[in-house]
A and B are shown apart, each in its own frame.
Chain A
Amino acid sequence: MELPGVLKQRRNQYALACLFLVVLLILWKPSVLIYGVQRAGLYAAIAIPMALVLGVVGILNIAHGDFMMIGAYLAYWGNVLYGVDPLVAMIPVFVVMFVVGAVTYKTTIKKVLDAPEFSQLLLTFGLAMILEQLANLLWTSQPRKLHVDYASTSATIGPYSFGVFEFANAAIALLILITLVLFLSRTRTGQAALAVGQNPRGARLVGIDVERSYLLLFSLSIAIVSAIGGLFLVRHSIFPLVGGSYTMRSFALIAMAGIGNLPGILYCSLALGVAESLIISFKGYGGWADIVFFAFILLVILIRSYRERLT
């Protein structure tokens, strides 16, 4: 995590440029901004817990999106069987999946911490496959969707109506980010975890229980992303493969922000969300939105790697 002070000046410049763009967009195409922010909220909310694990534990969790899928199914059945609202269900899902995350860590992840990067990757790929197939066996590939009244809450400004529920995505992403940053910087456990992420050997030397930090952060990440499943369920259909594309997107976002840079994910999500919304707002160019997503990421990675080379 970078210190805010260091980049202060450059950051101010960025902020100014962004503000200018925002004003421009508001005047020209307000919908782009609205949907861009909503899109970005979901991207960031899902990517942040993944970044946490990648940054501290050093595991790239391919099953990340699939845990969200499982969380969404739990929320779905919570609603169908017990009438629990999906947003309320996020809390029990969080608790249950924290335990599931801990068990997953203990039985599998823990054993490959010292293994080569790609063995870890393959392990989580295996987990992803298990989760997806389990969901497919238990609940079939038939997409499911809850109907909740507030999902299509809308606001009208002048002649213009738009959905407001998805601002919750952005709010929750922000909430997760702030909580995590505070947790990592203010609490002892969090500071310890951060230290472990930066230098596990050193952390061990100063008496930090590295194992426990890993366990905690991995479980926390699984719990958060599964809880987001409840939020996801409000506006999206769920099916066994629904998580996969979000894993890929999160991974791309993290690479763009730089590993270990949690707030960066928020900015990158915003930039990408708005850029994508901008592209699809031109009729007939929707098919190119994916190119923007990936070309943008490629560009950022390239620029960064060249800049590193120069310095």
Chain B
Amino acid sequence: MYATLALSWDMMFRSGQPGLSVAGFFGLGGYAAALSFLYWGVNPLVSIALGCLFSLLVAFILGLVILRIRGLYFSIATMSLSEIFRVIVMNWHRFTGGPSGKALPSAVFNGDSAKIFWLFLVLTLLTVIVSEIFERSRVHFALTSIRNNEIVAKSSGIDVFKYLVVVFALTSALQGMIGGAYAHSYAFISPEGSFNFNFVLLPVTMALFGGIHSTLGPIVGAVILGVVGEYLKLQLPYGHLLVYGVIIVIVILFLPKGIVGTAKERLKRKWATI
């Protein structure tokens, strides 16, 4: 799950725009999926797609407005959006259940964890495929050129704004999709659970940890950090998060390009010496 979020964040970041709205669209998709299931009896899997579409739509409209902003200001703007979503959901008692959230009558596949695992795997694969398509298509070159030098990109005829909106909407849709799957796998939604800032920090950490601007990096980062986190928890019931923090700092200090970036560089150097 975090792998998907990490990857979708990185896809946006490839354009050089550090968004912090992962939690916002994650939560939005989750609510859309859960509420459409609850109120209109939509099939859970279809409702996850609905959550995805809803996020896409919202992100597209908002993207038209906020994608004029750049850099750090973009981070703040997207973070503000997430918070605004959360407050609206929290105060709209009648429809969203307010701060307590809503319980669904049953989890998807009746809570069969193996099937849920497969569901997440399929969704992850889907994200990987989208990411790879991006990587190989014109979008990739457009985004890279925006990142490197927006003015040059513009003058060479790339419609910067259009690409940004498309990428923003698509990545948000992926986040919404995972949010929907998350809501269904635990059969409930609440503002504190769904719009949790953890859903921003952890994916970003994983992407940076693994290595940014690639499909592989965020996935590797998510897998390694996930496994390390669980292992540490078994070893040290209390201080594991402390060690986790230390690991992050050490990696940044000694492997500035992330695990994948560093590994690639090492390999390249090896090849060069041979």
Contacts and interface: CB of A to CB of B under 8 A. Distances in A.
24 contacts: A118-B13, A118-B204, A119-B208, A122-B252, A123-B249, A126-B252, A129-B242, A129-B244, A129-B245, A129-B248, A130-B245, A133-B245, A137-B242, A248-B79, A252-B76, A255-B73, A287-B90, A290-B86, A293-B83, A294-B87, A298-B81, A302-B66, A302-B69, A305-B70
Nearest to A290: B87
A127 B241 contact: no
Contacts of B69: 301-302, 305
Interface in A120-167: 121-123, 125-130, 133-134, 137
A291 B245 contact: no
Contact of B65 (A108, A121, A291, A302): A302
A18 B253 CA distance: 47
B151 interface: no
A60 interface: yes
A295 B83 CA distance: 9
A311 to B, nearest CB: 14
Contacts of A14: none
Nearest to B250: A126
Q: Can you list the 6 inter-chain pairs with the closest CB atoms, starting with the nearest? A: A129-B245, A126-B248, A133-B242, A294-B80, A255-B76, A126-B249
Given A287-B91, A302-B66, 14 more contacts: A111-B253, A112-B256, A118-B13, A119-B256, A122-B248, A122-B252, A125-B248, A126-B248, A130-B242, A130-B246, A137-B242, A290-B83, A297-B76, A302-B77
A20 interface: no
A55 B154 CA distance: 28
B229 to A, nearest CB: 12
B245 A126 contact: yes
Contact of A252 (B18, B66, B80): B80
B266 interface: no
A309 B154 CA distance: 14
Nearest to A294: B80
Contacts of B76: 251-252, 255, 297, 301
A288 interface: yes
A119 B73 contact: no
B77 A288 contact: no
Interface in B231-274: 238-239, 241-242, 244-249, 252-253, 256
Classify chain A: how many residues form its interface, as a range: 35 or more
Main secondary structure of the interface of A (DSSP, over half): helix
B36 interface: no
Contacts of B253: 108, 111-112, 123
A306 interface: yes
Contacts of B248: 122-123, 125-126, 129
A309 B239 contact: no
A112 B204 CA distance: 17
Contacts of B252: 112, 115, 119, 122-123, 126
Contacts, number: 113
Nearest to B69: A305
A291 B88 contact: yes
Most chain B beta carbons < 10 A, residue from A128, A137, A291, A295: A291
Contacts of B201: 125
A57 to B, nearest CB: 14
Interface of A: 60, 108, 111-112, 115, 117-119, 121-123, 125-130, 133-134, 137, 248, 251-252, 255, 259, 287-288, 290-291, 293-295, 297-298, 301-302, 304-306, 309
Nearest to B258: A119
B72 interface: yes
B87 A291 contact: yes
Contacts of B238: 137
A297 B256 contact: no
Contacts of B81: 294, 298
A267 to B, nearest CB: 17
A309 B68 contact: yes
Interface in B77-121: 77, 79-81, 83-84, 86-88, 90-91
B196 interface: no
A288 B13 CA distance: 31
Most chain B beta carbons < 10 A, residue from A112, A115, A129, A259: A129
Given A129-B244, A130-B242, A305 B73 contact: yes
B87 A288 contact: yes
Contacts of A306: 68
A240 to B, nearest CB: 11
A248 B244 CA distance: 22
A117 B242 contact: no
Contact of A305 (B68, B204, B212, B239): B68
